[in-house]
Amino acid sequence: MPALIKALQVSKQFEKNELFVKNKLVTAVNNISLEIEKGKTIGLIGESGSGKSTFGRMLCGLENVTEGEIYFKENSITNLTLKKMKPYRKNIQMIFQSSSTIFDTFYTIGESLEEILLNNETISKAESNLRINKILEQVGLSKEYRNRYAYQLSGGEKQRVNIARALVINPEFVVCDEPVSSLDFTIRKQILNLLNNLKNNMGLTYLFITHDLSTIQYVCDSVVIMYKGKIVEYMDDISQLGKIAMHPYTSILLQSIPTTNPLNKKICMMEEKQSNLFIKKSVKGCIFADRCPQKEEKCLNKEPDLREVASGHKIACCVY
Amino acid sequence: MTKKILKQKGFIIGLAIVIFFILIAVFAPYIAPNNPLEMNISCKLQKPSSQYWLGTDNLGRCIASRIIWGARSTLLYSMTVLTAIVIVSIPIGLISGYVGGRTDAVIMRVIDIIMAIPSFMLVLAVAGTLGASARNMIIAMSSVWWAGYARIIRGMAIEVKQKDFILALKSAGCSHVKIITKHIFKNIAEPIIVLATLELGSIILAIASFSFIGLGAQPPTPEWGIMISDSKDYIQSQPQLMIYPGIAIIITVIGFNMLGEGLKNAFGRKLYE
């Protein structure tokens, strides 16, 4: 099956202009290749600053790519201008991370949604009205919300409208950038259920960006673990997560999930050395070496490639 | 919002002064007791009377009528300058702020150059080459004062541009033009109104000063600055000739400043959020 969206060796570097120091480059995303098949949900996991949001934005054409190519259905959508990207926007949408800041506070929810619809489709006003009512209903809001402003909504309602924003034009591929991280646990489950239902009803494909391992098993089929802009582990089957051999970073992530059973609670987390979170491009060897508990001599010299250790399970580590 | 505005005494007073000033300016022909240009040498420098509410000046003209008609020219000149400034600076500021990069750098350097020229010097130069008149003063003032405005608007545009919802709008398929006109402009409209109101006071003051030194409106136009200038020879014997137009200028400027301050406080939460 051909991939719906494909990233080929994508890198992103940000220029950091400091006084007297010119063009200091910060690598946010480092040589990532990823294929997403239609109908599948991939969870992209990493700590903050690991470049996962940047990668998501690049897939949506909202951020320029420094190196590499991005294909949507075999068409290259790398670094297109706003105008040229427009035909693809209809099919590639994003659920943004902070639902409180993504609405222009001068427009009501209805006006915002209508603008999106009329931008991307040639439909009449009456038809767009129906579509807006329908999507609001689908995300579990009554149509009275159309006349509200974003600041009049609660956190959970905003997140629902945020989802409605992305899905109102029936996209095929949706990047969910930490859709539940700002919500409390009861609403979190509602939103995840909602995303699952919408996926089944509308035939969506998600890239689910999160830093929280506890939520992904709920929605994702496959999982990608990112660290400092690189993929360190890829697992085709999410149910295997934590069961089969894995990257040391993944195990640290798994151990950091608080347990729900008080009898199993750990007095303290695994001790970790403070590491330098900035990515240095010139560093030789494994990017995780300075934090790795299983580090060996060879880790410091050789940069590990992402290779397949079992069917559908890729890992970038010298030890395995 | 309305409640917050109406709670401020300063805003109410300012609004009252400004409305009063505008009404006088608009209905000057009906309010003024005499023709402001009519000279009556036989009754010059008179005390206030029922015919001449504030007395007459050195040429026997009615001071009250001249002040009332002066409000009209002040309102006309200051509004023209303000409109010109706003029309020029908003698109330039928005484009400079939104596009950024080299375009921004070029526009900002041009603005720096213009801001380095004192408006007083330019008015002097224009008056010297094209002749001193109200029109030339307006042209000279507008061509300098837009720069500072454009810079402020650019700053606000940059601030709005970096907000998350701009990225969301791009994702929603909005074009750059649409983002600028429908969203960024709407977001900075309120502070622009506040700024413009505050600025109107200083524009009125500047117009009066230019007229006073003879670079702006020319006598016998009834204009407050000219009235002060005309009566400066009588400062010792008839000081009221200067005091009346002076009070008119002060009250109007204070009125606009109070109105602007009130608006600023009311919108303040939004402006500095």
Does the beta-carbon distance from B176 to A82 stay under 8 Å?
yes
Predicted TM-score (pTM) of this structure: 0.82
- Do the strands A3-18 and A21-37 form a parallel or antiparallel pair, or are they unpaired? antiparallel
> CA distances (Å), A304 to each of A29, A219, A244, B208, in order?
16, 30, 19, 76
Tell me how far apart the alpha carbons of residues B236 and B244 are, in angstroms, rounded to a whole number: 15
Does residue B91 have a pLDDT over 90?
yes
What residues of chain B lie within 8 A of the CB of A106, using their CB?
183, 186-187
A174: three-class secondary structure by DSSP: strand
pLDDT value for B271: 47
* Helical (H) or strand (E) element with A3: strand A3-18
Instruction: Name which residue leads in pLDDT, B199 or A22.
Output: B199
pLDDT above 70: residue A158: yes
Total length of chain B: 273
What's the pLDDT at A312? 81
Residues of A with CB below 8 A from B174's CB? 115, 119
| pLDDT value for B273 | 40
Name the residue of chain B whose CA is nearest to A114's CA: B172
Does the pLDDT at position A161 exceed 60?
yes
Q: What pLDDT does A297 receive?
A: 77
String of b and e for A146-156 (b: at least 16 CB within 10 Å)?
beeebeebeeb
In angstroms, the CA A91 to CA A200 distance is 17
Query: How long, in residues, is chain A?
Result: 320
Q: What is the pLDDT averaged over residues B199-209?
A: 89
Span B44-69, mean pLDDT?
Answer: 85
Which is more confidently placed, A47 or A129?
Answer: A129
Cα–Cα dist A210/A257, whole Å = 13
What is the per-residue burial (b if ≥16 Cβ within 10 Å, else e) of B204-232? bbbbbbbbbeebbbeeebbbbbbbbbbbe
Q: What is the mean pLDDT of chain B?
A: 87
pLDDT at residue A186 above 90? no
Nearest to A89 among B167, B173, B186 (CB): B173
Whether ipTM exceeds 0.90: no
Q: H helices within chain B, ranges in order?
A: 2-6, 9-26, 28-31, 63-99, 101-116, 119-130, 134-161, 164-171, 176-178, 185-212, 224-230, 240-271
Q: What is the pLDDT of residues B120-143, one digit of tens each?
A: 888 888 888 888 888 899 998 898
Share the mean pLDDT of chain A.
83
The shortest CB-CB distance from B173 to any of A101, A105, A119 is to A119
Q: How far is it, in rounded angstroms, from Cα B176 to Cα A57?
A: 18
- Judged by average pLDDT, the poorest of A133-147, B12-26, B34-48 is B34-48
- The answer to whether the CB atoms of A93 and B175 lie below 8 A apart is no
Contact (CB, 8 A) for A216 and A254: no
pLDDT at B98: 93
- CB contact under 8 Å between B173 and A106, yes or no, is no
Contacts of B176 in chain A (CB under 8 A): 82
Chain B neighbors of A113, CB-CB under 8 A: none
Determine the 3-state secondary structure of B6 from DSSP.
Answer: helix
Q: pLDDT grade, residue A246 (50/70/90)?
A: confident
Instruction: Please report the pLDDT score of residue B272 as a whole number.
Output: 43
- A269 pLDDT band (50/70/90 cuts)? low
Give the highest mean pLDDT range of A18-27, A259-268, B92-101: B92-101
Query: Is the confidence at residue B270, as pLDDT, over 70?
Result: no
SS3 label, residue A60: coil
Chain B residue numbers touching A60 (CB-CB < 8 A): 171
**Is the Cβ pair B174, A119 closer than 8 Å?**
yes
CATH number at residue B17: 1.10.3720.10
**Distance (Å) from the C-alpha of residue B181 to the closest C-alpha of chain A?**
13
Residue B160 backbone dihedrals phi, psi, to 5 degrees: -70, -35
pLDDT in the model for residue A189:
85
Neighbours of B14 (CB within 10 A): 23
Domain extent, residue B217, equals 1-271
Higher pLDDT, B205 or B43: B205
CA distance A97 to chain B (A): 9
- Å between A103 CA and nearest CA of chain B: 5
A57/B173 touch (CB, cutoff 8 Å), yes or no: no
**What's the mean pLDDT in B158-165?**
90
Q: What is the pLDDT of residues A72-114, one digit of tens each?
A: 888 888 888 888 888 888 889 999 888 888 888 888 999 999 9
Asked if A62 lies within 8 A of B171 by C-beta distance, the reply is yes
Give me the number of domains chain B comprises. 1
Q: Which residues contact B69 (CB under 8 A, 6 or more apart)?
A: B28, B32, B36, B222
Structure tokens at A158: 């905003």
pLDDT at A270: 53
Interface test with A, best of B160, B171, B183 (most A CBs within 10 A): B171
Q: Retrieve residue B178's tokens.
A: 């649409």
pLDDT category of residue B158 using cuts at 50, 70 and 90: very high
Of the ranges B73-82, B119-128, B179-188, which one carries the lowest mean pLDDT score? B119-128
Q: How far is A238 from chain B (nearest CA, A)?
A: 30
CB crowding A295-309: b at 16 or more within 10 Å, else e: beeebeeeebebeee
Q: Are the beta carbons of A235 and A222 closer than 8 angstroms?
A: yes
Which residues in A lie closer than 8 A to residue B178 (C-beta atoms)? 119
Interface residues on A facing B, Cβ-Cβ cutoff 8 A: 57, 60, 62, 82-83, 86, 89-90, 93-94, 96, 98, 101-106, 115-116, 119-120, 165-166
Instruction: Evaluate if residue A178 carries a pLDDT over 50.
Output: yes
Contact A164, A113 (CB under 8 A): yes
